[in-house]
Amino acid sequence: MKQTHLFTKTRREAPKDEVSKNAQLLIRAGYIHKEMAGVYDYLPLGLRVLNKIVGIIREEMNAIGGQEVLLSALQDRAKWEATNRWDEKIVDIWFKTKLQNDTELGLGFTHEEPLTALMKDHIQSYKNLPQAIYQFQNKFRNETRAKSGILRGREFLMKDLYSFNIDEKTHDEYYESAKKAYIRIFDRLGIGGETYVTFASGGSFSKYSHEFQTICEAGEDIIFVNEAKRIAINKEVLSDEVLKDLGLDRSDMVEKKSIEVGNIFDLGTKFSDALGLNYKDELGKIKPVVMGCYGIGPGRAMGTIAEVWSDDKGLVWPESVAPFQVHLIALYGKDDKVRKAADELYTKLSENGVEVLYDDREGSAGEKFGDSDLIGIPWRYIISEKTLATDSVEVKDRKTGKVEMKKVGEILNIPFFAKASKGRQ
C-alpha cells in the first residue's frame, strides 16, 4: 500500500481523555479511532492487525476441529430466562433494547444460551457428538470501568468456541487440546513468553478454570507466577489449600499484574440441563450434553501486544501480526532517480508476496522516520540517493534498531525474511 493512498494521519498527541498506553499509541499511529469511552473503530492499519490475529486464532481453532459460525447479536429473552441470566441483578452488564411492539431484546455479551438452544436441532444422538463450534463476533458489555483502551471495550470482538461432548472424560480430552491450542496462539501472537496458564475459579465440575494471563503493568488482574514451572494462580483463588493442591510453594511465586487475554472453562451440564440439550446414548438412555467454553478477545490481544511490544518511539509489532512486513521509505532527491527505483522496488517486493507500506510522500527524512517508528512495522527499508550509489538499501530492524546495508537483489524475496526473522517473536 502506498502511504499517499492511506487516509489516516499520524498525530503527535493522543486525545486528552485517553489514559491507556495501548489506545494512545494506536490512535496516534492511526490504527484506531475513539468514538467514546470503551468504544473504538478499527482503521485500515488496525484492521490489518486485527485480521492477522483473527487469522492465527482461526487456524488454531480449525486445527482442533472447530466449525465456524456467526450468531446474531440480538438476543431473545426467553432463552436467557431459562438459565436465569436475563435478570440484571444477576448479570449487570447487559445492554438491552426494544422492538417497536415493546418486546425486549438483549445485545449478546456471550453466546452459551442461543448456541445451546440452536444445537438442539442438530444433536439428538451420541452419533452427533462431539462438536466444537466457534465464531468471531462482536459482544456488548456495559462495563463499568472502560479506561484500558481496547483491552476493555463496551463493544468488542470475541472468539468464542463451545464444545459439546458425551461425557466428562471426552470433554477433558478436548479441554486439554484447547489449552494447547491457546498456548500455540499466544506464542504465534508474539506474547507467549509473557503469557502464563493461570489457575482461576472453577468450572461446573472441575475445580479450576484456566486463564491465559499476560504479564503487563496495564493489567487489571493480579496473579502469582511460578516462572520455572510456567504456571500461575489468580490472586482471587490463591490459598494454602490451592497451593498444596497444585504442588506449589508460595515462596516460589512472584506477584505480577497481568491481562487476561483468554480463558477456558468447563460448563458441565449447566446450559444443556437448563435448555434441554440432551442426546441418546448407545443404550438409548437420555443424557445431557457436557459443554465447555473457550474465549479470546482479538482486540484485547492486539491491545496487549501494543502494551508489551512498544518503546518510547512507538509500536514494535511482532512480524506475525504486523500490518505490513516492510516499511519502504523513499527519500527523494533532486531528480526522479530515487522515485523510479523505489517504485520499482515496491512493485517487485509486492509481486514476491512481501507486504509493504510504501512511504511515497514528499517530506523530510525526520518526519518519515518518526512516523515509521510510531507505526512500528518490523523492517524498514530506506532508499535514497546515498544508498542507490552502491545499489543498496538500508535495512533497519525496528525491534533491535540494528542497521545493515543490503544489495537490492538480496531483499527482493521472502527468504531474506525467513532467515532474518529466525528466532524473532
Between helices 168-188 and 44-63, what is the axis angle to 10°?
140
Question: 281 vs 131, 165, 166, CA distance in Å?
Answer: 15, 12, 8
Closest approach, Cβ 387 to ligand ATP, in A, equals 43
CA 59 – CA 233 distance, rounded (Å) = 29
CA 78 – CA 257 distance, rounded (Å) = 39
Give the residue with the Cβ less far from ligand ATP, 260 or 359.
260
Closest approach, Cβ 37 to ligand ATP, in A, equals 12
DSSP code at position 2: B
Does the protein bind ligand ATP through residue 219 (CB under 6 A)? no
Please choose, out of 294-302, 344-352, 364-372, 408-416, the segment that lies near ligand ATP by the rule CB under 6 A: 294-302
Give the residue with the Cβ less far from ligand ATP, 171 or 368.
171
Give the residue with the Cβ less far from ligand ATP, 66 or 299.
299
Closest approach, Cβ 419 to ligand ATP, in A, equals 34
Closest approach, Cβ 149 to ligand ATP, in A, equals 10
Residue count, binding to ligand ATP (CB under 6 A)? 16
Give the residue with the Cβ less far from ligand ATP, 263 or 272.
263
Among 18, 260, 319, 373, which residue sits at the site for ligand ATP (rule: CB under 6 A)? 260
Among 48, 111, 300, 396, which residue sits at the site for ligand ATP (rule: CB under 6 A)? 300
Which residues have CB under 8 Å from 28's CB, separation 6+?
10, 11, 12, 13, 14, 314, 374
Among 27, 54, 129, 158, which residue sits at the site for ligand ATP (rule: CB under 6 A)? 158
Give the residue with the Cβ less far from ligand ATP, 2 or 33.
33
Please choose, out of 170-178, 257-265, 327-335, 415-423, the segment that lies near ligand ATP by the rule CB under 6 A: 257-265
Does the protein bind ligand ATP through residue 262 (CB under 6 A)? yes
Among 299, 318, 323, 376, which residue sits at the site for ligand ATP (rule: CB under 6 A)? 299
Residues β-bridged to residue 131: 164
Closest approach, Cβ 242 to ligand ATP, in A, equals 19
Does the protein bind ligand ATP through residue 377 (CB under 6 A)? no
Does the protein bind ligand ATP through residue 143 (CB under 6 A)? yes
Does the protein bind ligand ATP through residue 141 (CB under 6 A)? yes
Does the protein bind ligand ATP through residue 210 (CB under 6 A)? no
Among 75, 163, 263, 372, which residue sits at the site for ligand ATP (rule: CB under 6 A)? 263
Please choose, out of 25-33, 50-58, 150-158, 177-185, the segment that lies near ligand ATP by the rule CB under 6 A: 150-158
Cell numbers 526522479: residue? 336
Does the protein bind ligand ATP through residue 187 (CB under 6 A)? no
CA 252 – CA 240 distance, rounded (Å) = 13
**Contact (CB, 8 A) for 132 and 175:** no
Interface of this chain with ligand ATP, residues 91 to 110, rule: CB under 6 A: 110
**Contact (CB, 8 A) for 220 and 20:** no
Among residues 244, 275, 4, which one has the least CA distance to residue 119? 275
Please choose, out of 77-85, 121-129, 290-298, 414-422, the segment that lies near ligand ATP by the rule CB under 6 A: 290-298
CA 352 – CA 70 distance, rounded (Å) = 34
Is 136 strand, coil or helix? strand
**Contact (CB, 8 A) for 47 and 37:** no
Amino acid identity at 389: A
Look up residue 280 and give its three cell numbers. 441418546
CA 46 – CA 41 distance, rounded (Å) = 9
Closest approach, Cβ 296 to ligand ATP, in A, equals 5
Give the residue with the Cβ less far from ligand ATP, 22 or 425.
22
CA 403 – CA 381 distance, rounded (Å) = 10
Does the protein bind ligand ATP through residue 190 (CB under 6 A)? no
Does the protein bind ligand ATP through residue 296 (CB under 6 A)? yes
Among 66, 153, 292, 318, which residue sits at the site for ligand ATP (rule: CB under 6 A)? 153
Between helices 21-28 and 298-308, what is the axis angle to 10°?
90
Look up residue 385 and give its three cell numbers. 540517493
Among residues 301, 319, 317, which one has the least CA distance to residue 309? 317
Concatenating the DSSP letter of every residue in 301-315 gives HHHHHHHHSEETTEE
Does the protein bind ligand ATP through residue 32 (CB under 6 A)? no
CA 114 – CA 120 distance, rounded (Å) = 10
User: What residues line the site for ligand ATP (CB under 6 A)?
Assistant: 110, 141, 143, 152-153, 156, 158, 260-263, 295-297, 299-300
